[in-house]
Amino acid sequence: MHFIVFEGLDGAGKSTLIEGLKRELTTLGESVVLTREPGGTELGEKIRELLLTKDGESPVARAELLLYEAARAQHCDKVIEPALAKKHWVICDRFSASSIAFQAGGRGLDRKTIDQLNSFATQDLAPALWVLLDLTTAEAMRRMQGRDLDRFESENKDFHERVRQRYLDLAKENQQSWLVLDASRKPSELMLELMAKLKERKLWPA
């Protein structure tokens, strides 16, 4: 299955690496669908706006989680599953692990409940590989300076620290399906390492 997910703190450089990977795969004649969470569908993009805006009433943590899961269910059925069925590559900017890192790690919601909701929303769909772009919170926050920050990016350092730690725990829990990259390195080096690791794990087109 050609499904790869990129995760990490905001500011880790997911977009650059995702674009690079798409370019490499397209050059090899592969067809690639780039997508993201929350979002990826018309409904999901509307939910994304509700989740990221700093205007008006903020959702409580449980409502926030359920909105992510609603967007995810739509995304799986309407975009990811159909693309995988056509043998396309699907490269996704965040997926169910973000709910564990941000809503369990960051917000303190119960992990078991999140696992159950993730399983319900995705129908147990999981990528062939999770790529974690790991960065210290200090560096992530430095990179976000001067940006127009959304509701999550505006959270304090402790929040981002808990998110980072939860990601590292997840990657440790399941080393076969996670690849941790040091996101403080140059984008060109990260790209080379990513391709080497994909080859090592037999995930690169033969």
Size of the site for ligand TYD (CB under 6 A): 14
Q: Do the strands 129-134 and 32-36 form a parallel or antiparallel pair, or are they unpaired?
A: unpaired
Is the Cβ of residue 20 or residue 30 nearer to ligand TYD in the bound state?
20
Is the Cβ of residue 27 or residue 145 nearer to ligand TYD in the bound state?
145
Rounded Cα gap, residues 140 and 142, in angstroms: 5
Adjacent-strand bridge partners of 69: none
Is the Cβ of residue 102 or residue 130 nearer to ligand TYD in the bound state?
102
Cis peptide before 38 (omega within 30 of 0): yes
Span interacting with ligand TYD, options 18-26, 81-89, 96-104, 123-131, rule CB under 6 A? 96-104
Rounded Cα gap, residues 71 and 78, in angstroms: 11
Site for ligand TYD in 116-175 (CB under 6 A): 150, 152
> Residue 99 interacts with ligand TYD (CB under 6 A)?
yes
Q: What is the largest CA-CA distance in the chain?
A: 51
> Residue 35 interacts with ligand TYD (CB under 6 A)?
no
**Interacting residue with ligand TYD among 2, 37, 44, 117 (CB under 6 A):** 37
Span interacting with ligand TYD, options 93-101, 131-139, 168-176, 193-201, rule CB under 6 A? 93-101
Adjacent-strand bridge partners of 92: 5, 35
Phi, psi of 68 (to 5 degrees): -60, -40
Is the Cβ of residue 74 or residue 99 nearer to ligand TYD in the bound state?
99
Is the Cβ of residue 68 or residue 167 nearer to ligand TYD in the bound state?
68
8 A C-beta contact, residue 11 and residue 96: no
